Amino acid sequence: MGYTYSDGSYISQLLVDLIQKLHGIVGNAITEGKYFVFGSGLTQLLNAVVYALSPDTSVLPLAKVLATPPLYPVYRTHSQFFNARSFSYEGSTSSRINNTVSNSTFIEFVTSPSNPDGKLTKGVLKSHRPCWEPIWTVYEKMLTYLDMNTMGVSRGAQLRAFMLLDVVFEEDDGKQIFKFAYSTMRHHWRKLKETISKLKRFSLQKLSTKYCTLFKRERDISPAYAWLKCEREEDKNCYETLEATGINGRTGSIYTDDDHYVLPV
């Protein structure tokens, strides 16, 4: 089916329309007048945006890529792997809160809800990026990166995404899938919390209720991940503690955190 459409673009306007409709129903993003970029997964888009936001190093220093632990490991590993002439991975935002340079470009990864602890987070650093180019230029640079990397996303993949979203809108104007997802995740999370609460050896992340733009009221957060902590001091590596009982997981240090934490998988 190829990669480009009749107008020469790599992006299906029909799919963009459905995405805008979906966000309009959920109320979690302003999409009117915004630019859309499609990628083959989050990792590719992260690489594209870092490339696009990084400055011309003949004029400015390298961009510094940072994130706040616990953090999705790809932020660190891919930034380090693709360390380029225009950016480098600098580690935790804590190292830069009181140590910033006015002419430096800081690119901070912010995930909300966060992976792995499911918290709704905000950026830590104030904006330090010099406004030397408009958002349209950043958008064009991202498209260039995706074009050179994989020629964008195939029309076949976009068609499948369109068909799936189209089915979502068949029932309750798209709200039913979110109601089902919330009900299912809440059920699993409550069962897990009840089980862990009976054990003094372990604890789960503390999550407060938040206002839900879809349901128009405060709701409990039911995260996709359990960020488990071993409370005993002797359990210095919670991953090994769980592994000894036949439970797989990912150690906290993978997420740039303490190894008293583990992400069960």
**What is the tens place of the pLDDT at every residue in 208-230?**
999 999 999 999 999 999 999 99
Q: Return the structure tokens found at 175.
A: 């709200």
In this structure, what are the phi and psi dihedrals at residue 226, rounded to the nearest 5 degrees?
-105, 115
Q: Mapping DSSP to helix (H, G, I), strand (E, B) and coil, where does residue 99 land?
A: coil
CA distance 113 to 128: 24
Q: Looking at the structure, do residues 148 and 44 belong to the same domain, yes or no?
A: yes
pTM, whole model, 2 decimals? Answer: 0.86
Angle between helices 135-150 and 42-53 (to 10 degrees): 130
Q: What is the CATH number of the domain that holds 238?
A: 3.90.1150.10
Query: Residue 12: inside a domain, yes or no?
Result: no
CA distance 16 to 233: 51
Residue 95 pLDDT: 81
Residue 32's Cβ-count burial label (10 Å; 0-12, 13-18, 19+) is exposed
Residue 128 pLDDT: 53
Residue 240 has pLDDT above 70, yes or no: yes
The DSSP symbol for 127 reads P
Structural domain tally of the chain? 2
For the chain, the average pLDDT equals: 91
Mean pLDDT across the stretch 90-111? 80
Query: Residue 215: inside a domain, yes or no?
Result: yes
The DSSP symbol for 8 reads S
**In this structure, are residues 159 and 18 in contact, taking their beta carbons and an 8 Å threshold?**
no
Q: Looking at the structure, do residues 145 and 200 belong to the same domain, yes or no?
A: no
H or E stretch covering 87: strand 87-92
Domain range holding 188?
175-264
Q: Looking at the structure, do residues 66 and 144 belong to the same domain, yes or no?
A: yes
Query: Residue 11: inside a domain, yes or no?
Result: no
Residue 116 has pLDDT above 90, yes or no: yes
Residue 142 pLDDT: 95
Q: Return the structure tokens found at 196.
A: 């862990």
Q: Mapping DSSP to helix (H, G, I), strand (E, B) and coil, where does residue 141 land?
A: helix
